[in-house]
Amino acid sequence: MWLPAGLIVLAFISLYPIIYAVINSLKTEPQSTVNPFWFTNWPLQWSNFLIAFETIWHAFFTSAIITSVSVVGIIALASLSGYAFARIPFPAKNVLFMIIFGLLLVPGFLTLIPLFIEIKDFGLLDHDLGLILPYIAGGQAFAIFVFRSFFSGLPDEIFESAVMDGASDLTLYGRIVMPLSIPIMVTIAIINVVGIWGDYVLPSLVMNATGHRTLAVAIVSFEAPKFAPSLNVYNIELAAYLLASIPLLFLFSFLMKYFIQGMTSGSIKM
């Protein structure tokens, strides 16, 4: 009996920052100062969310475009490469794989400054592509690593019969590998959406123009006093944080099954 009880306590503490944000995003600032732990008086301040949305909606959609294009690019390119590394024999395969795999050991901070300068030299500052292209590159190593390991584990028999019928590699990839790999692809997509949607450092350098920012940049600079003085700045900020979490909430509610299936398929290990 202590096992579920302990888990409930731990889960409650883990979830508390979210609960705290929800409670206080619906109050006025004086109400939160009196008691931040629970609702003190009604009515709830839904207007906080309206003001927050007006402030961040542009950045919200900018981030939505950048994230979705990047993730589709990562999955498309990495699954093709993962298929080639797992299923097609070609010269220098191991060397090429190590070249890509080695990128897992190249940390983001090493390339941050040269990458920023490169993006600037390409004239892509304040342009969505200035983030999309590096994100697609940055997502390759991990995704290929997982895809290769998953595709290698698919039973040979299902390939053999299709090959006997003259299927090309593109057919094998599109008709056999893809349908069987939806959970693992969804998993890799979610991991990348979470990473890109929540990224701050590169966007703070590349998309810092007022009026065209990513959500992370807009929300972090939300604190700045440029915001119209209002009694509830602190609560409106919390409302903005929750709005920023909505896409991930949707993603998880619809794809949770696939995500857990993919994560627990046994391909994510060394």
Partner 1 sequence: MQPRGLTAALPETSARTVTHRRLVSGPNSSRRWVIGYLFILPTLVFVGVFSYYPAVKAMQGAFSNWNGFNPPVFVGLGNFVQMFQDPVFIASLWHVLIWTVVGIPLSLIPPFLVAEMIFHLGKARSQYVFRTMFIIPMVLPGFVGLLIWLFIYQPTGLLNQFLGAVGLGFLRHQWLADPHTALGALIGMGFPWIGAFQLLVLYAGLQAIPMEILDAAAVDGVGTWSRIRAIDIPMIRGQWKLLFILAIVSVPQNLIAPLILTDGGPGTATVTPVFYMYQTAIGYGLYGYGMAIAFLLFLAMMLLAIVNMKYIQSQPD
Which listed residue (109, 211, 225, 226) binds partner 1 by CB under 8 A?
109
Residues 197, 65 contacting (CB under 8 angstroms): no
Asked if 19 interacts with partner 1 (CB under 8 A), we say no
- Give whole-number Cα distances, 163 to 79, 88, 159, 166, 171, in Å: 20, 12, 6, 5, 10
Count, residues near partner 1 per rule CB under 8 A? 105
Of 50 and 201, which has the nearer Cβ to partner 1? Answer: 201
- One character per residue 111-150, x = contact with partner 1 (rule: CB under 8 A): xxxxx-xx--------------xx-xxx-xx--x------
Which CB sits closer to partner 1, 51 or 132?
Answer: 132
CB of 230 to partner 1, least distance (A): 17
**Residue from 78, 186, 236, 239 binding partner 1 (CB under 8 A):** 78
Shortest distance (Å) from residue 253 CB to partner 1 = 9
Residue type, position 24, single letter: N
| Tokens 């940055």 -> residue | 138
- Helices 47-87 & 233-263, crossing angle to 10 degrees? 30
φ and ψ at residue 240, rounded to 5 degrees = -65, -40
- Cβ proximity of 80 and 233 under 8 Å: no
CB of 151 to partner 1, least distance (A): 12
How many C-beta neighbours within 10 Å does residue 55 have? Answer: 20
Among residues 51 and 116, whose Cβ is nearest to partner 1?
Answer: 116
Q: Does 13 bind partner 1 (CB under 8 A)?
A: yes
Decide: is 233 part of the binding site for partner 1 (CB under 8 A): no
Q: Does 255 bind partner 1 (CB under 8 A)?
A: no
- Which residues between 197 and 226 bind partner 1 (CB under 8 A)? 197-201, 205, 215-216, 219-220
Task: Name which of residues 156 to 175 contact partner 1 (CB under 8 A).
Answer: 158-159, 161-163, 165-173, 175
CA 215 from chain centre, in angstroms, equals: 13
> What is the C-alpha to C-alpha distance for residues 259 and 191, in angstroms, rounded to an integer?
9
Determine the interface stretch with partner 1 among 6-14, 41-49, 53-61, 224-232 (rule: CB under 8 A).
6-14
Spatial neighbors of 219 by CB under 8 A, at least 6 apart, are 56, 59, 237, 240, 241, 244
Amino acid at 91: P
Does residue 7 interact with partner 1 by CB under 8 A?
A: yes
CB under 8 A: which stretch of 31-39, 41-49, 50-58, 224-232 binds partner 1?
Answer: 31-39
Q: What is the nearest approach in angstroms of partner 1 to the Cβ of residue 196? A: 10
* Rounded-to-integer distance, Cα 72 and Cα 79, Å: 11
Q: Which residue has the tokens 């503490």?
A: 13
The pair phi, psi for residue 116, each rounded to 5°, is -60, -45
Residues 33-72 that bind partner 1 (CB under 8 A): 33, 36-37
